[in-house]
Amino acid sequence: MSTGGKGTGLEPNVAGLLCYVFGWVSGLIFFLIEPNDKFVRFHAMQSIIFSAAICVFSIIFGIMFLIPWVGWILFTILWIGTLVIWILLMVKAYQGERFKLPIAGNLAERYS
């Protein structure tokens, strides 16, 4: 089920999975080299938005390290949650599903 277009020549589910592997970097690469595949572009854009959100939350929770224990606890929860969601997104993309995160998924759908 290859796209047959200019893109990577990968199956869409494999390309969708790879969009998440290196966060916004791989998302941006696939967004730029897959101009016709809506499935891959959706996952690429969701990867970019998800990665940007994690960066913002990391900065906010990093600042909270000034408050003893609170910052450490929030930062730990953020990274465990990020790992779980990251794996979930890769699995769903590989299964060929267009799994949407609550806010990022809607934005990704709009801009892909």
The answer to whether residue 56 sits within a structural domain is: yes
The answer to whether residue 16 sits within a structural domain is: yes
pTM value? 0.87
Cβ pair 33, 42 in contact under 8 A: no
The answer to whether residue 80 sits within a structural domain is: yes
The answer to whether residue 25 sits within a structural domain is: yes
Cα–Cα distance, 49 to 24 (Å, whole number): 8
The answer to whether residue 107 sits within a structural domain is: no
The answer to whether residue 1 sits within a structural domain is: no
Only one residue has tokens 């890769």, namely 90
Q: Which amino acid is at 4?
A: G
| Number of domains present in the structure of the chain | 1
- Spell out the per-residue pLDDT of the chain, length 112, in tens: 444 446 788 999 999 999 999 999 999 999 999 999 999 999 999 999 999 999 998 888 878 878 878 878 888 899 999 999 999 999 999 999 999 999 999 999 999 8
Provide the token pair at 37.
């595949």
The answer to whether residue 94 sits within a structural domain is: yes
Provide the residue range defining the domain that includes 73: 12-98
The answer to whether residue 5 sits within a structural domain is: no
